[in-house]
């Protein structure tokens, strides 16, 4: 069955709501409006306003309420419309959801899923184009899922709900119209995946940079460089085994990160490769990141600020000079 | 402080003597526990931040005794008394303050982060206003699951200035959730007097603006607190959220690090004439429900409980460092 990324997300939500009556969806415009990105369209009619619950523009309170409801025996899916607005409930995410279990001596689990759209590329300017997955991946106690494929868009929500920990699922509007076959493959939130086999360089990417990395790999292949593409899928905990296995094979790596360079996730991955596979490398690890600017509105400037296939190609070629 | 200080609580106590004695005993348990904590802080046994509730005991006592074991409680970093009266053993509270593994949070939380799943005591939150959204969520879960329980959320007057307060009031009222918001107004947000940080110092007016039942109570009078909290619990169960402003006062500094330079000693002395324990004892004595002898007996029993808690904490063990990363995630 060929479906879009958006439909895959919706199918995942519908299945989660149908499977377990403790599950409910809560957020701004998730019900009557049908979801800002039409992801939850139709779910209100199917599951009713108690379980597809429109919330006021009170991200701090309804994310905190999601934590309380999870502790109180429910399995909430809280939608924060976009990552940009997730800075408002950051306190509840960091100071409660992430630390409650450890700080209480292991007494409480917080089985909460927080979904949010992330990333740039749609000319929405600086306040609507952030990519904070890497920030969130800094925090122990939460897990970070970044679905880049149809199967992951469909299956990661169920895996997140089954996990029993607070999980942030980042969805990519830039990918919402992409289509693909839905497979019967079991989806976890524990492992990275090789999306394209290659021999000479490893491209490490996640989320909306995965298609860019694949595009770059196609172009590199035309020039005789066979690139392997690793989709991290889960940004915390990081599956370094898969990354390192690939790097040890190809002996070169380029990390592609939609976040800013300084103190970012790319730096963490490069550091771990250096710590664990330094002597397997034939060249220093390189990276392609978001330029260190707020994302501008004008299309040409926005494109220049983001990781693109040609920048990845250039970075790879740099490793062979 | 702009609000005039009312006369000390007085008048007959409308309870059978056993109930009055139980309330008095609970206030004394909090008071003596915390006096010991202050002493042990000086001795270096307790470290970190330590916020004492001394002066405010009538609020936790009257309110907690109006709740049922099925009810959930969310509190602040000034929560020793609330934990104790929700049913967390004094031994485990003291062990927690010592940082011992026998503590109610395995020594990982300390004074500000007491937790106990068994008694539905959910902290112990050191972010001002941080507990309010959580309480809304407990209320939502109870309502969706059809459970007959109320969530009592304690917070200080300082929290009312936070966005979390306003968002939570709105959400709880909008969804008519069974939550009792218990504001412990001690008239200071750390060192800033309420008139210096609130444009509207009538806190009930703020809650009422969300269409919520809201009323003030003399927080130095354990009888008034108990009756107010009972009324609040019934209201929350029957028709949704309620806000109670307990007007109280802390006799000690904000924390052990606070030199207390922002208020007049005369103000503290005046509030001490309203002290919840001695005024309540005097009323009980006046109606023949308590003698000085009985008071001293109770005090000695409480001292015994405190000594046992200290001995328990002293005898406790340290969590092995190998367990440092345990319980960051659920397995």
| pLDDT tens for each residue of B13-23 | 999 999 999 99
Chain B: residue whose CA lies nearest to A66: B137
Say yes or no: ipTM exceeds 0.90: yes
Predicted local distance difference test score (pLDDT) of residue B227: 98
Phi, psi (degrees; rounded to nearest 5) at A297:
-75, -45
Residues facing A227 on adjacent strands: A201
Instruction: State the architecture of A193-319 in CATH terms.
Output: 3-Layer(aba) Sandwich (3.40)
Predicted local distance difference test score (pLDDT) of residue B2: 53
Structure-block tokens of residue B129: 């206003």
Query: B181: which chain A residues are within 8 Å (Cβ-Cβ)?
Result: none
Question: What is the percent of chain A where pLDDT is above 70?
Answer: 100
- Mean pLDDT on A259-283: 98
Determine the Cα–Cα distance for residues A249 and A247; give it in Å rounded to an integer. Answer: 5
**Every domain of chain A and the residues it spans:** 2-181, 193-319
Render pLDDT for A132-174 as a digit per residue (tens, 0 to 9).
999 999 999 999 999 999 999 999 999 999 999 999 999 999 9
Structure-block tokens of residue B112: 């500000």
Query: In the CATH hierarchy, which fold is given to the domain comprising A2-181?
Result: Rossmann fold (3.40.50)
* Cα A43-A94-A8 angle, rounded to 5 deg: 25
Which of B104, B107, B171 has the CB atom closest to A56's CB atom?
Answer: B171
**Every domain of chain B and the residues it spans:** 17-316
Which residues are CB-neighbours of A6 under 8 A, at least 6 positions away? A37, A38, A39, A153, A176, A177
Predicted local distance difference test score (pLDDT) of residue B4: 81
Catalytic residue, chosen from A7, A28, A59, A171, is: A59
CB atoms inside a 10 Å sphere around CB B3: 12
CB-based burial of residue B136 (10 Å sphere; 0-12 exposed, 13-18 middle, 19+ buried)? buried
* A263 CB-side CA count, 13 A: 4
Determine the Cα–Cα distance for residues A255 and A204; give it in Å rounded to an integer. Answer: 5
- Mean pLDDT on A13-37: 97
> Does the annotation mark A128 as catalytic?
yes
Residues of chain B with pLDDT under 70: 1-3
> Does the annotation mark A46 as catalytic?
no
Domains A2-181 and A193-319 are alike in CATH topology: yes
Q: Using 50, 70 and 90 to split pLDDT, how confident is the model at A1?
A: confident
Render pLDDT for B198-213 as a digit per residue (tens, 0 to 9).
999 999 999 999 999 9
Chain A: residue whose CA lies nearest to B163: A60
Determine the Cα–Cα distance for residues B185 and B233; give it in Å rounded to an integer. Answer: 19
Q: Quote the distance between the C-alpha of residue B201 and its chain's center.
A: 21
CATH number of B17-316: 3.40.50.970
CB atoms inside a 10 Å sphere around CB A239: 18
Render pLDDT for A103-141 as a digit per residue (tens, 0 to 9).
999 999 999 999 999 999 999 999 999 999 999 999 999
The enclosing H or E element of A136 equals helix A133-136
- Mean pLDDT on A254-271: 98
Chain B: residue whose CA lies nearest to A62: B133
Predicted local distance difference test score (pLDDT) of residue B1: 52
Catalytic residue, chosen from A79, A128, A228, A302, is: A128
Place of tokens 């419309």: A81
Which of A73, A108, A165 has the CB atom closest to B141's CB atom?
Answer: A73
Query: B130: which chain A residues are within 8 Å (Cβ-Cβ)?
Result: 64, 91-92, 95-96
Peptide bond into A287 cis (omega under 30): no
């Amino acid at each position: 069955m060929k479906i879009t990324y958006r439909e895959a997300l919706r199918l995942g939500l519908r299945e989660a709501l149908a499977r377990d009556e403790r599950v409910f969806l809560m957020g701004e415009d998730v019900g009557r409006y049908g979801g800002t990105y039409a992801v939850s369209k139709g779910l209100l009619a199917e599951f009713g306003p108690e379980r597809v619950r429109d919330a006021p523009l009170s991200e701090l309170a309804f994310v905190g309420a999601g934590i309380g409801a999870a502790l109180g025996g429910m399995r909430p899916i809280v939608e924060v419309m976009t990552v940009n607005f997730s800075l408002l409930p950051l306190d509840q995410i960091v100071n409660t959801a992430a630390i409650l279990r450890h700080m209480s001596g292991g007494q409480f689990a917080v089985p909460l899923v927080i979904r949010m759209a992330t990333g740039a590329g749609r000319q929405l300017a600086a306040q609507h184009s952030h990519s904070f997955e890497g920030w969130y991946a800094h925090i122990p106690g939460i897990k970070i899922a970044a679905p880049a494929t149809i199967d992951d868009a469909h299956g990661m929500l169920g895996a997140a709900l089954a996990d029993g920990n607070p999980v942030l699922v980042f969805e990519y509007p830039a990918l919402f119209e992409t289509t693909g076959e839905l497979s019967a493959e079991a989806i976890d939130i524990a492992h990275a995946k090789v999306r394209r086999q290659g021999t000479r360089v490893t491209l490490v990417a996640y989320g909306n940079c995965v298609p860019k990395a694949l595009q770059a790999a196609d172009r590199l292949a035309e020039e005789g460089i066979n690139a392997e593409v690793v989709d991290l899928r889960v940004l915390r905990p990081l599956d370094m085994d898969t990354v390192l296995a690939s790097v040890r094979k190809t002996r070169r790596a380029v990390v592609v990160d939609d976040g800013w360079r300084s103190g970012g996730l790319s730096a963490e991955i490069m550091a771990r490769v250096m710590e664990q596979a330094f002597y397997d490398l034939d060249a220093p690890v390189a990276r392609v990141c978001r330029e260190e600017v707020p994302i501008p509105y004008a299309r040409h400037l926005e494109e220049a600020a983001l990781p693109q296939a040609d920048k990845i190609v250039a970075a790879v070629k740099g490793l062979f000079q | 402080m702009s609000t005039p200080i009312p006369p000390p609580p007085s008048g007959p106590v409308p309870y059978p003597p056993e109930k009055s004695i139980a309330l008095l005993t609970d206030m004394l348990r909090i008071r003596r526990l915390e006096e010991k904590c202050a002493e042990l802080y000086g001795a270096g046994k307790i470290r970190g931040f330590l916020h004492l509730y001394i002066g405010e005991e009538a609020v936790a006592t009257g309110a907690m005794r109006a709740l049922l074991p099925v009810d959930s409680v969310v509190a602040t970093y000034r929560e020793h008394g609330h934990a104790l009266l929700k049913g967390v053993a004094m031994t485990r509270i003291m062990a927690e303050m010592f940082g011992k593994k026998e503590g109610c949070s395995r020594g990982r939380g300390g004074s500000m982060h007491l937790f106990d799943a068994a008694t539905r005591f959910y902290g112990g939150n050191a972010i001002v206003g941080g507990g309010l959204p959580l309480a809304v969520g407990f209320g939502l879960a109870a309502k969706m699951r059809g459970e007959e329980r109320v969530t009592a959320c304690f917070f200080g007057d300082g929290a009312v200035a936070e966005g979390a307060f306003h968002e939570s009031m709105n959400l709880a009222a909008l969804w008519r959730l069974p939550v009792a918001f218990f504001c412990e107004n001690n008239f200071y947000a750390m060192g800033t007097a309420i008139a210096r940080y609130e444009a509207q110092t009538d806190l009930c007016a703020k809650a009422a603006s969300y269409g919520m039942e809201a009323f003030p109570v003399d927080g130095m009078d354990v009888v008034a607190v108990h009756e107010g909290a009972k009324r609040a619990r019934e209201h929350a169960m029957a028709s949704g959220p309620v806000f109670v402003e307990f007007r109280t006062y802390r006799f000690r500094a904000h924390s052990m690090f606070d030199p207390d330079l922002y208020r007049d000693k005369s103000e503290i002395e005046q509030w001490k004439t309203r002290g919840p324990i001695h005024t309540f004892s005097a009323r009980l004595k006046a109606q023949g429900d308590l003698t000085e002898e009985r008071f001293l007996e109770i005090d000695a029993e409480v001292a015994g409980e405190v000594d046992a808690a200290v001995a328990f904490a002293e005898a406790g063990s340290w969590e092995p460092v190998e367990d440092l990363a345990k319980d960051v995630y659920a397995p």
